[in-house]
Chains A and B, each alone.
Chain A
């Protein structure tokens, strides 16, 4: 009916440099950091005696939310990790959000592999570091490879699986989950935008195609709303998994 030219993947996710070595992805990452810092700074400036409102109210509800995650996964002695998880959550969420802003941005920064990769590496270093610090190197390796309550011969099979799953699969799946979810959402938006454009500018059968272009456009709006949810959910899941990994390193099974 009509030829839909899907651009090569490099054109969908690669952006020209705004100035050398600095492109839109880097701009979004910097903006996410700056906005987080400014929000927290403004919130900390207010008089703690009056009832919170405005920015402080917002930041307090986010901190409450993160503390809820910490209490459910690590427990009371993990409350010191709230600040790390808070910055992780806000950075990922603010990197996901530009994926639905049609003006200038329209690209989630986490849809490029570099940002999820380094976030996953940071979490990997932290939970291994916490485990080694609290249990010692030998104790930590024993708690990874030899979970208690298993008949002895099973360890031949279990120990390699546990080592691979804890040291390799965990950071890999953290990275892939965030990256692939955001890239999939971005590609969906690109697909429906292209479809709408092709139908509006159709050369043949205009009488049929132009009114029908409302369908992919409606889908585009629905998917944009869906992406708001996905962006939040992925930030939430990344944070909660980081908290769970830190929790298992702090409190090994007995």
Chain B
């Protein structure tokens, strides 16, 4: 990677370069892990609002199911966040 080459030219030691790599990896890990769940949660909530607007009397049931769907979708982003902490800090 270009960034690593620049760091190596700056005369950093091997451990520093490793740390820098870990920080870059951590940033990418969380950023990439957030894309899919972001789209997914938006889709789930959007459809739930559509359903509630069409049938307000079913709002309670729709809301419960919506939270369940959000919980499952969000797990991926949260695993990404845990990887971010393991790598970056």
* A interface residues with partner B (beta carbon < 8 Å): 8-9, 68-69, 72-73, 173, 176-177, 179-181, 183-184, 233, 236-237, 240-241, 244
Contact = CB atoms under 8 A, between A and B. Distances in A.
Contact of B68 (A179, A184, A241): A241
B64 A73 contact: yes
The prevalent SS among residues of B at the interface is helix
Contacts of B67: 233, 236-237, 240
Interface string B45-89: 000000000000000110010011011101100110110010001
Contacts of B75: 173, 176-177
B71 A237 contact: yes
The prevalent SS among residues of A at the interface is helix
Contacts of A241: 68, 71
A72 B64 CA distance: 8
Contacts, number: 41
The 7 nearest A-B residue pairs measured at CB: A180-B78, A9-B89, A173-B75, A237-B71, A180-B81, A72-B64, A176-B78
B71 A69 contact: no
B89 A8 contact: yes
A203 to B, nearest CB: 26
Contact of B78 (A72, A177, A236): A177
A184 B60 contact: no
25 contacts: A9-B85, A68-B60, A69-B64, A72-B60, A72-B61, A72-B64, A173-B72, A173-B75, A176-B75, A176-B79, A177-B71, A177-B74, A177-B75, A177-B78, A179-B82, A180-B82, A183-B85, A184-B81, A233-B67, A237-B68, A240-B64, A240-B67, A240-B68, A240-B71, A241-B68
Contacts of A240: 64, 67-68, 71
A236 B64 CA distance: 10
Contacts of B61: 72
A73 B61 CA distance: 10
